[in-house]
Amino acid sequence: MNKKGLTILMRARMRPSDPSKILLSPLADKVNRVAPDKQANQSGGSGMEPASENGNEQTNFSCRNRRPFELVKESMHSAISMNKTEVLDDVLNDFTEGYFSLSTESRKALLLSLAKEYDLNRAQVRELIKQYLGLELPKADPAEEGNVAEESSLSAFYRIERNLRHALKPAYEVLFERLNTHPGGLKFLSILRADILSILAEENIPSLRALDSYLKEKLGTWLSPATLELHQITWDYPASLLEKIVAYEAVHPISNLLDLKRRLGVGRRCFGYLHPAIPGEPLIFIEVALLKTVAQTIQEVLWDDPPILEHEATCALFYSISSTQPGLAGINLGKFLIKRVITLVKREMPQISTFATLSPIPGYMQWLLSKLASQLKLAETDDATHTSSDQSGSSFWENILEPEEERALLNLSEEYKAMTNGMEVMFNLLTTKDYAWTNSPEMLSVLKPPLMRLCARYLLQEKKRGKALDSVANFHLQNGAMVERINWMADRSEKGQHQSAGIMVNYVYRLENIEEYAQSYFSTGQIHSSDDILQYVKGVEA
Amino acid sequence: MNKKGLTILMRARMRPSDPSKILLSPLADKVNRVAPDKQANQSGGSGMEPASENGNEQTNFSCRNRRPFELVKESMHSAISMNKTEVLDDVLNDFTEGYFSLSTESRKALLLSLAKEYDLNRAQVRELIKQYLGLELPKADPAEEGNVAEESSLSAFYRIERNLRHALKPAYEVLFERLNTHPGGLKFLSILRADILSILAEENIPSLRALDSYLKEKLGTWLSPATLELHQITWDYPASLLEKIVAYEAVHPISNLLDLKRRLGVGRRCFGYLHPAIPGEPLIFIEVALLKTVAQTIQEVLWDDPPILEHEATCALFYSISSTQPGLAGINLGKFLIKRVITLVKREMPQISTFATLSPIPGYMQWLLSKLASQLKLAETDDATHTSSDQSGSSFWENILEPEEERALLNLSEEYKAMTNGMEVMFNLLTTKDYAWTNSPEMLSVLKPPLMRLCARYLLQEKKRGKALDSVANFHLQNGAMVERINWMADRSEKGQHQSAGIMVNYVYRLENIEEYAQSYFSTGQIHSSDDILQYVKGVEA
């Protein structure tokens, strides 16, 4: 059927009745500012996310028309308990506007009251459970399928299981469901969850965590790949949407309109997933550069001018993936994005044979510094309790440096020779203000071997629950990529230095291996890599 | 944002990769035939549905390439148990094709195996339940909100409740979820459910009923109003879609292309809800006639030629609502349809001041005949056991005829005078072959008063669970309509005679009362009606 021939008159309950209401959201503030110094994806919480800005912009709420807490709480109560299907829109508008008018503290109080006062009915659950335990399990007799007696004895199970399923739904589910079908409601839920996540980052509150996990599951259903639309975003797109690309680009900030125009122009592509209920802003987008070879540094991608002729390109380089909604953290929106984009690019330009990324390594320095710090701590304790805990203490201790690296570090200066070991020197160098070591050719040459080697170890061997510890690595590996190459001084921005000592990594997608690699990573955690990068970790125990 | 300016390149997982696969569905057979003799909505099961064809076309499966049962069962097992996200499309295609190739009996066997072998793990549920009962409920102390000790004692509850929620999901949920995000899968699920419903109509199988209720709940979520698109269907729409309008029109069958063209032409409108995952066929559609006054008979709507000039119209008459998917029975797709259509028509033609329906009364004769039969039975029993059960027997007995109606019926002929009472005469007249009474002016004049009066009683006073017994009445009342007028000999088609002795009803939507009426009907079951129709039931006890 020719979709264009049909006119969608109304997307039931989808379009915001008043678009200005959406702008009341705290995220609207964000559109006007770019925060280049923010660290993307530091937490690495879900381990599955492409970079996204952290959610602390929630404090920038509008306080022009603040409403009393009790009034907003009342409208929340109405939104949950009212039966009137038709006046519900007004009630929900009232509640969402009221929520936006609250201070951070009041929002927290409201969310806590939602989590605790609109929880499930435990007495009812207990009652049903007792009924359930009173039932006798029918003998499983696979030979007699469709046994009538068995069937009818199961009826009671079905009934109580169904009731139990409903009783286990917290009362706040009604609010989530209603908001989901309310114009602008899905976006509101995403903001609500961002607020929840930033509260939970400060303080672990079990009831709020339970609410969050429930909401996350719901959002995951509502934002299934089936509901997402893939768009190629071009300079012809509405300015209001492009403005959001600028605001949300979390990997390599866009400095001005010219920069944006280049990223959408010749030799470049930008694709994004939009959801019909959140019009005007992609939930996730990916930027692609068409090149002759796989780029080693982000500088050559961002600053090559003029770009090459498109028909000369043989490589499509994914150099930035940003998710735009902090409230959707942990929901894998990028699942099919890369594969679909590869299909589209290949269709348009069959001469492209390499699909690669130039990716940040957001968790590398965090991992390395904490590794160094804990080893230094262990060494200290070891010294203090040398006689008593000689063996047990030492068993945790590991010199993560090779002998020649250790030597080179201690030899850097007289000052360092006084230090306990090479790790202390390394820790001190890496934590000096303004990354002074990057300006000294000598320090650079001494630090490069251990930093590159340990980076390979971090990417290929450091795991969390059987998956790559680094969130971006995990994202590409589960999509079926392999680790191809790590690049020294590939991102000289402050953020690049801070995250990964300026190192970046190329992941490569080989069309013929994508399925197989995704599958083996999924089932056994196996990380495929090139021989080059494997050299760094040869002989080192995993 | 201007939606038209954006190109949807791909609707992730939505478009069927091979549209011909959809055509394997048994429903495809149906498109080529119109079944004018079928009774719409006889069952009235959900009590909330507009008319829809009953689901027995599922037996018309294609048996050209029948596959062995065990092979299809195996592919169903793979579809549920496989982890590979990427090869899943092939597995699901394999399963759906295999399913369509099965005979009715094999389908039933497969569905039973799905219901029983892919149920939930009762041992696991029992284990979790025991853990849950071991927990102690924290004292509820509303004065101490955010109490830390309470919070942490609740953690254990949250954890087990969450696990219990997951354990209570049957294994077949995975299949439903996967099909929902698979191209053509939602349509397939609707066909699957139609098959299930027709099995359950023959035989009550608890495990299959439990599966059906689970699937129905899922479909209800996936087809929420938020996902439906309202279209005005015109003669410019693809023939493949219009063909389905012809096939699915269940209220007043469309006899030929000219008839269809008139229903989409001047003085007429047709609106339908489409779902993006089921392209090319509306799930529900409504037909509207623009008139000078509220029509009393369907003949004047279907055959008025030429139609009036549109600018002279003051009334929009909804004369047909059809849902197209028997597998979606019980899911209220029409919820917001009427209100939205009213808004659209009012916007286009502000001079329209009356919004009314000319509706069938699908359950009237069924109710009346069974009422008459049971009263006659009671009268018989009463005679036989006159002495022993004099009081108790009579207490159920009610002469539903007025004295003068009784008299007129008995006086119709000598033959009837011998009968016990007027109800017996009435029953015999109404059940004569070919509705012979409609050809006798005398019988018509004698039957009209009781038929009209009892029809008003049926519409206004006969309830099921506090709601109107008649499914179409219930549909419009819950949408906020009132019962305005009943019309004698308003539908002279065989179907009209069979359903409601040719009587039709006008429901009227008064813009200023829609909310209030919907609300009072929802909460108290109150049915608003005109004074005219109220006259019929005055003085009769409710």
Reading the block at residue B454, the tokens are: 């009892």
Given CA atoms A217, A222, A227, A233 in this order, what sign does their dihedral have? negative
Taking CA–CA distances from A15, the nearest residue in chain B reads B226
CB contact under 8 A, A122 and B519: no
CA distance A175 to A168: 15
Please state the rounded mean pLDDT for residues A511-521. 87
Which residue in chain B is spatially nearest to A335 when comparing CA positions?
B85
Which of A42-51, A389-398, B329-338: highest mean pLDDT? B329-338
- What pLDDT is stored for residue B10 in this prediction? 42
- Within a 10 A sphere around the Cβ of B160, how many other Cβ atoms? 18
Q: Is B5 on the interface with A (CB under 8 A)?
A: yes
Q: Which residue, among A447, A455, A441, A445, has the nearest Cα to A503 in the 3D structure?
A: A455
Cα separation of B504 and A454, whole Å? 82
**Are B273 and A12 a contacting pair at CB < 8 A?**
yes
Neighbour count for residue B149 (Cβ, 10 Å) = 10
Mean pLDDT on A341-355: 93
Confidence at A316, pLDDT banded by 50, 70, 90: very high
The C-alpha atoms of residue A148 and residue B206 are separated, in whole angstroms, by 10
B417: part of which helix (H) or strand (E)? helix B414-417
Tokens matching residue B532: 């005219």
**Residue A514 with chain B: CB contacts under 8 Å:** 86
For residues B536 and B191, what is the distance between their CA atoms, to the nearest angstrom? 43
Residue of B116, B132, B225 lying closest to A13 (CB–CB)? B225
Residue A482 has pLDDT above 50, yes or no: yes
Task: Give the chain B residue nearest A274 (alpha carbons).
Answer: B8
Q: How confident is the model over A99-126, as a mean pLDDT?
A: 94
Higher pLDDT: B514 or A332? It is B514
Q: Cβ of A403 under 8 Å from any chain B Cβ?
A: no
Q: Is A322 helix (H, G, I), strand (E, B) or coil?
A: strand
CB contacts of B335 in chain A (<8 Å) are: 85
Distance CA B519, CA B528 (A): 11
pLDDT of B182 reads 87
Residue A386: other Cβ atoms inside 10 A:
11
Q: Chain A residues with CB inside 8 Å of B120's CB?
A: 161
| Cα A95 to Cα A91: distance, rounded to the nearest angstrom | 6
- Burial of A24 per CB tally in 10 Å (0-12, 13-18, 19+): buried
Contact A336 B13 (CB under 8 A): yes
Q: DSSP labels for B8-35?
A: EEEETTTS-SSHHHHTTSTHHHHTT---
What is residue B314's predicted lDDT score, i.e. its pLDDT?
94
Mean pLDDT of A72-94: 80
Q: Is the ipTM of this complex over 0.90?
A: no
Gap from A352 CA to chain B (nearest CA, Å): 20
How many of the other CB atoms lie within 10 Å of CB of A199?
A: 21
Nearest neighbour of A11 by CB, restricted to B155, B158, B229: B229
Distance separating alpha carbons of residues B311 and A180, to the nearest angstrom: 39
* A388-422 burial: b if 16+ Cβ within 10 Å, else e: eeeeebeeeeeebbeeebbebbbebeeebeebeeb
DSSP assigned state of B137: P
- Which of A91-95, A118-122, A150-154 has the least mean pLDDT? A150-154
Residue B319 pLDDT = 92
List the one residue out of B69, B61, B73 whose CA is nearest residue B28. B61
**Are the Cβ atoms of A515 and B84 closer than 8 angstroms?**
yes
Please name the helix (run of DSSP H) or strand (run of DSSP E) that holds residue B75, with its range, or none.
helix B69-81
The string over A129-155, giving b where at least 16 C-beta atoms fall within 10 Å of a residue's C-beta and e elsewhere, is beebeebeeeeeeeeeeeeeebbebbe
Of A201-215, A313-327, B393-407, B526-540, the poorest mean pLDDT is in B393-407
Q: Which two tokens stand for residue A6?
A: 């049909």
pLDDT of residue A382: 61
CB contact under 8 A, B158 and A209: yes
Q: In this model, does residue A20 exceed pLDDT 60?
A: no
| 3-state secondary structure labels for all residues of B337-400 | HHHHHHHHHHHHCCCCCEEEECECCCCHHHHHHHHHHHHHHHHHHHHHCCCCCHHHHHHCCCCC
Q: What is the 3-state secondary structure (H, E, C) of B481-510?
A: CEEEEEECCCCCCHHHHHHHCCCEEEEEEC
Mean pLDDT for the stretch of residues A312-340? 88
Tell me, yes or no, if B230 comes closer than 8 A to chain A by beta carbon. Answer: yes
* A386 touches B at CB < 8 Å: no
Picking from B130, B221, B238, the nearest residue to A1 by CB comes out as B238
| A252 pLDDT tier (thresholds 50, 70, 90) | confident
* pLDDT reading at A2 higher than 80: no
Q: Which residue of B has its CA nearest to A156?
A: B206
Assess B241–A contact: CB distance below 8 Å, yes or no.
yes
- For residue A444, pLDDT over 60 is answered with yes
CB contact under 8 A, A10 and B340: yes
Q: For strands B51-52 and B315-323, give the pairing.
A: parallel
Cβ under 8 Å to A: B residues 10-29: 10-14
B201 touches A at CB < 8 Å: no
Summarised one tens digit per residue, pLDDT across range A258-270 is: 888 889 988 999 9
Enumerate residues 6+ apart whose C-beta is below 8 A from B496: B298, B360, B490, B502, B504
- The verdict on A3 touching B (C-beta cutoff 8 Å) is yes
Residues of chain B in contact with residue A238, where contact means CB-CB under 8 angstroms, are: 1-2, 5
CA-to-CA distance for B230 and B407, rounded, in angstroms?
Answer: 53
**For residues A281-310, average pLDDT:** 88
User: Which is the catalytic residue, given A320, A476, A528, A529?
Assistant: A476
Q: Give the mean pLDDT of chain A.
A: 82
User: CA of A277, closest CA in chain B: separation in Å?
Assistant: 8
- Assign residue B292 a region: left if phi > 0, alpha if psi is -120 to 50, beta otherwise? alpha
In angstroms, the CA B50 to CA B321 distance is 6
Contacts of B230 in chain A (CB under 8 A): 8-12
| Tens digit of pLDDT at every position of chain B (542 positions) | 333 334 444 443 333 333 333 333 333 333 333 333 333 333 333 333 444 444 333 334 444 578 888 889 888 988 888 765 556 788 899 999 999 999 999 999 999 999 999 999 999 999 999 999 888 766 555 555 445 566 777 888 999 999 999 999 999 999 999 998 888 999 999 999 999 999 999 999 999 999 999 999 999 888 877 778 899 999 999 998 998 898 888 778 888 888 888 899 889 999 999 998 898 899 999 999 999 999 999 988 887 667 788 999 999 999 999 889 999 988 888 777 888 899 999 999 999 999 999 999 999 999 999 999 998 888 777 665 544 444 444 456 778 899 999 999 988 887 777 777 889 999 999 998 888 899 999 999 999 999 999 999 999 999 998 999 999 999 999 889 999 999 999 999 999 999 999 999 999 999 888 888 988 898 899 999 999 999 998 865 44
B428 to chain A, minimum CA–CA distance in Å? 41
Is residue A335 less than 8 Å (CB to CB) from chain B?
A: yes
Q: Cα angle at B202 between B198 and B208, to 5 degrees?
A: 65
- The whole-angstrom separation of Cα B485 and Cα A139 is 59
Whether B183 and chain A come into contact, CB under 8 Å, resolves to no
Residue B312 buriedness (CB in 10 A; 0-12 / 13-18 / 19+): exposed
pLDDT of residue A85: 56
What is the Cα–Cα distance from B278 to B284, expressed in whole angstroms?
A: 12
Q: In this structure, what token pair is assigned to residue A475? A: 């994202």
Give residues with Cβ within 8 angstroms of A219, minimum separation 6: A189, A190, A193, A327, A328, A331
